[in-house]
Amino acid sequence: MAFIEHKENELVYMTSSVLPARHAFTTRLGGVSTGIFESLNLGSNRGDDPEAVRENYRRVCALMGADIDGCAVTKQVHGSAVRVVTAADRHVCLSTVPYEADGLVTKERGLPLFCFIADCTPVLLQDPVNGVIAAVHCGWRSSVADILGEAVAAMRSLGAEPEELCAALGPALGRCCFETDADVPEAIDAWLKGDTAGLWDRRADGKYLVDLRAANARRLLTLGLREKHIDVSPECTRCRHDKYWSHRYTHGQRGSQAAVIVI
Ligand SMILES: [Zn+2]
């Protein structure tokens, strides 16, 4: 298992060898946005030029073999809601999303699922045997609200089986850069029922350095996924701010990258 970097036309994106489905973790490279959004911004409500965002979507959707108005997108509120989507949920690019959901699940063919990130952990899931996929935005609040538990339950409702599920946890804020107060490790401890050995370091100044991606990988194990079906990106979005959007590095003056998957 490994994350692999691709360059196609101008786009730079990552894939994981654990997922058979077509998918991508985008970077900030290969789009047409300018200024603080240079260059591949896929955030539709951050103040970027709509025509530039549309062109950025065109490039990523072309990779997925889809039209920019033929995808399903999250509307992220740092909650744990996961929505099962169908062709009826196809989103007209840049229009208002009529639901709130930090995760999407489908068994619809040809319907790419998009979630958006800039430090939070993106998780793409696929049951290749039963034909079910998911895209999940795992910020720390969504994580400890057990959005991955909700996502796997939604996938099971469509026929997926945990032992068949493959999961890729993409580029995100690493433990090197996720500095928190005690509230985050305390919430993770409650969520993972104390199974938290090695997930954070406490510094002498009382702050913590937390590995949220590893915490989410551990949750996937307790949900029944096999360890060999879980791939975790080693890249930190803040350390690699030259390649990825990082909310912390830019103090919020930024675009968004996407994780997208389609069957
Ligand atoms: Zn880092």
pLDDT by residue for the chain (263 residues), tens only, comes to 899 999 998 999 999 999 999 999 999 999 999 999 999 999 998 999 999 999 999 999 999 999 999 999 999 999 999 999 999 999 999 999 999 999 999 999 999 999 999 999 999 999 999 999 999 999 999 999 999 999 999 999 999 999 999 999 999 999 999 999 999 999 999 999 999 999 999 999 999 999 999 999 999 999 999 999 999 999 999 999 999 999 999 999 999 999 999 99
**DSSP code string of 119-144:** SSEEEEEEETTTTEEEEEEE-HHHHH
Q: Say what the pLDDT of residue 9 is.
A: 82
pLDDT value of residue 259: 98
The pLDDT assigned to 1 comes to 87
List, as ranges, residues with CB under 5 A of the ion ligand 1.
Answer: 174, 176-177, 236, 238-239
* Residue 215, pLDDT score: 98
Q: What gap in Å lies between CA 249 and CA 246, rounded to an integer?
A: 5
Dihedral-angle region of residue 94 (phi above 0 means left; psi in -120 to 50 means alpha; beta otherwise):
left
Ligand 1 mean position to 176 CA, how many Å?
4
d(CA 135, CA 104): 5
The CA–CA distances, whole Å, from 5 to 13, 107, 240 equal 6, 27, 14
pLDDT score of 120:
97
Residue 123 is encoded by which pair of tokens?
A: 């998780």
Q: So what's the pLDDT on residue 48? A: 97
Within 158-222, residue ranges assigned H as helices are 183-191, 212-222
Give the distance (Å) from ligand 1 centre to CA of residue 133: 29
Query: Ligand 1 centre from 201 Cα, in Å?
Result: 14
What pLDDT was estimated at residue 107? 98
Using CA atoms, how far apart are residues 73 and 102, in angstroms rounded to an integer? 9
Q: How far is the CA of 68 from the centre of ligand 1 (A)?
A: 32
Global pTM reads 0.98
Q: What is the distance in A from the centroid of ligand 1 to the CA of 41?
A: 21
Distance 119 CA to ligand 1 centre (A): 10
Tell me, in angstroms, the distance from the centre of ligand 1 to residue 212's CA.
12
Query: In terms of DSSP H, where are the helices of the chain?
Result: 50-64, 140-144, 147-157, 183-191, 212-222, 247-250
Query: Distance, CA 191 to ligand 1 centroid (Å)?
Result: 24
Give 258 Cα–ligand 1 centroid separation in angstroms. Answer: 19
* DSSP character at residue 13: E
CA of 202 to the centre of ligand 1 (A): 16
The sign of the dihedral angle between the CA atoms of 36, 38, 178, 79 is positive
Q: How far apart are CA 106 and CA 198, in angstroms?
A: 34
How high is the pLDDT of residue 67?
96
Distance 214 CA to ligand 1 centre (A): 14
User: Which CATH architecture is the domain 3-262 placed in?
Assistant: 4-Layer Sandwich (3.60)
Q: Residues of 40-63 as b/e, b for ≥16 C-beta within 10 angstroms?
A: bbbbbebebeeebbeebbebbbeb
CA of 247 to the centre of ligand 1 (A): 12
Domain boundaries, the chain: 3-262
